């Protein structure tokens, strides 16, 4: 049994928490308890939609109402931009970053030209349009202040780290092929980090040994493994759990306001009833009927 196991619940509070978040929180808590370790709370609020303090406040209220407790200090990603900037500098020093001046429309058009379908979970993979721009054009556009983001060159990443393995407790050993997921965005002007960069830097900073997360993030984990490789960070054990679904088998998401914890609370459900419904859903193949 690993000593000092650390898990984390890492919600993005861009709206009220819903029952899917509760499942993620309970999974993180369960694994920490089973391993005799700590379960931390990290607020993933770098996304502009997650910066509204009302959602963070409501999240704390919901968690307190359910009696869910976390260990140690709460981490807020909006307080960690220096750590993300240091990681970006490291990647820049390795020659792995390049500016990309494409907007969404450009990317869609280039993907359509290449005849590639969007990736099932990651959407339109970047086709590399700006990767080979002549250096003088790059300088000119940067100096002119043209809107751009910073992407990581996954071909070079693969040259450096090859195709490393990672392990999922439910699905076994996986091989990460960095070039399969496109040159993802790591920073933008208005957002000096992306989800992918922040999550990797923070899991390492918090000493997370076991990442419990929904299976919708399975592909993203390959990207995280690649970033860990080039940043020289440890790779945790992963545990991708199934997602809750409605009666029609559709994944529950934030837009399903009726399943928000706040609405269940307001409808008179007790924390016990919500927990029992979640347990019943898990025994019923993840179908939530509350």
Q: Please give the residue ranges that form the binding site for ligand GLU (CB under 6 A).
A: 10-12, 44, 199, 213, 217
**Which lies closer to ligand GLU via its Cβ, residue 41 or residue 199?**
199
Give the rounded distance of the alpha carbon of 192 from its chain centre. Answer: 16
Q: Could you tell me whether strands 75-76 and 185-188 are parallel, antiparallel, or unpaired per DSSP bridges? A: unpaired
Nearer to ligand GLU, 44 or 183 (CB): 44
Least spacing, CB of residue 290 vs ligand GLU, in Å: 21
Residues 83/46, Cβ–Cβ less than 8 Å: no
Q: Edge-to-edge strands of the sheet including 210-214?
A: 172-175, 165-168, 237-241, 210-214
Q: Are 221 and 238 in contact, with CB atoms under 8 Å apart?
A: yes
Q: Which residue is nearest to ligand GLU (CB)?
A: 213
Report, in Å, the least distance between residue 147 CB and ligand GLU: 26
In angstroms, the CA 277 to CA 256 distance is: 17
Question: Which C-beta is closer to ligand GLU: that of 151 or that of 213?
Answer: 213
Q: What is the DSSP annotation of 12-67?
A: --SS--BHHHHHHHHHHHHHHHHTT-EEEEEE---SGGG--HHHHHHHHHHHHHHT
In the beta sheet, which residues pair with residue 6?
38
Pairing of strands 165-168, 149-152: unpaired
Nearer Cβ to ligand GLU, position 62 or 153? 62
**Closest distance of CB 42 from ligand GLU, Å:** 8
In whole angstroms, give the CA distance from residue 275 to residue 176: 36
Q: How far is the CB of 145 from ligand GLU (least distance, A)?
A: 31
Provide Rg for the chain, Cα atoms. Answer: 20
**Residue number with CB closer to ligand GLU (123 or 162):** 123
Minimum CB–partner distance for residue 20 and ligand GLU (Å): 9
Report in angstroms how near the CB of residue 254 gets to ligand GLU at its nearest: 9
Which of 12/129 has CB closer to ligand GLU? 12
């Amino acid at each position: 049994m690993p000593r000092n196991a650390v898990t984390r619940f890492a919600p993005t509070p861009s709206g009220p928490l819903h029952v899917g978040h509760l499942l993620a929180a309970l999974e993180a808590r369960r694994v920490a308890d089973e391993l005799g370790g700590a379960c931390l709370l990290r607020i993933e609020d770098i996304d502009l939609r997650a910066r509204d303090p009302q959602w963070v406040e409501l999240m704390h209220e919901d968690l307190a109402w359910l009696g869910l407790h976390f260990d140690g200090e709460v981490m807020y990603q909006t307080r960690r931009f220096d750590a993300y900037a240091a990681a970006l500098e490291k990647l820049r020093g390795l020659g792995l970053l390049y500016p990309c001046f494409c907007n969404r429309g450009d990317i869609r058009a280039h993907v359509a030209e290449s005849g590639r379908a969007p990736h099932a979970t990651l959407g339109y993979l970047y086709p590399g349009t700006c990767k080979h721009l002549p250096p003088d054009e790059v300088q000119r556009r940067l100096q002119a202040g043209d809107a751009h983001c910073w992407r990581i060159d996954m071909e070079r990443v693969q040259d450096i780290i090859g195709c490393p393995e990672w392990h999922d407790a439910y699905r076994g050993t996986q091989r990460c092929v960095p070039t399969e997921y496109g040159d993802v965005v790591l920073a933008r002007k208005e957002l000096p980090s992306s989800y992918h960069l922040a999550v990797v830097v923070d899991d390492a900073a918090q000493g997370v040994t076991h990442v419990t997360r929904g299976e919708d993030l399975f592909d993203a984990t390959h990207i995280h493994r690649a970033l860990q490789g080039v940043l020289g960070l440890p790779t945790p054990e992963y545990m991708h759990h199934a997602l809750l679904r409605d009666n029609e088998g559709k994944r529950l998401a934030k837009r399903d306001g009726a399943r928000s914890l706040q609405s269940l609370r307001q409808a008179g459900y007790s924390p016990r009833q919500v927990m029992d419904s979640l347990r019943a859903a898990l025994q019923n193949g993840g179908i939530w009927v509350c």
